[in-house]
Amino acid sequence: MKTTQRLAAILATLAMLPGLGACSGMSQRDQSTAAGAVVGGVVGNVITGGSTTGTVGGAAVGGIIGNQVGKPAR
């Protein structure tokens, strides 16, 4: 059962990722932050076996990483 839930979470994430690319009003950094939060949330969910705390924590960490990756080059 857990394998099915993990697969469903991964497929849902993959289905949502193209929608993030359609956010033309968002800056590149905002898009990176949102994508990082989504991916981090899924990874946190999978690692902790569906824990809400793990999902939220993963989303927060993923958003921070995505924000930093999306910084413009100087």
Q: What is the reported pLDDT for 20?
A: 60
In a domain, 22, yes or no: no
In a domain, 67, yes or no: yes
Q: What is the reported pLDDT for 40?
A: 93
Residue 69 belongs to domain spanning: 36-74
Of 22 and 37, more confident: 37
In a domain, 4, yes or no: no
Say how far apart CA 50 and CA 43 lie, in whole Å: 10
In a domain, 25, yes or no: no
In a domain, 23, yes or no: no
In a domain, 66, yes or no: yes
The whole-model pTM stands at 0.67
Task: Write down the H helix ranges in the chain.
Answer: 2-21, 28-47, 52-69
Please determine, for residue 1, whether its predicted confidence score (pLDDT) is greater than 60: no
Please determine, for residue 21, whether its predicted confidence score (pLDDT) is greater than 70: no
Q: What is the reported pLDDT for 59?
A: 93
Amino acid at 17: L
Question: Hunting for tokens 């697969």 — which residue is that?
Answer: 7
Q: Is 22 left (phi over 0), alpha (psi -120 to 50) or beta?
A: alpha
Q: What is the reported pLDDT for 61?
A: 95
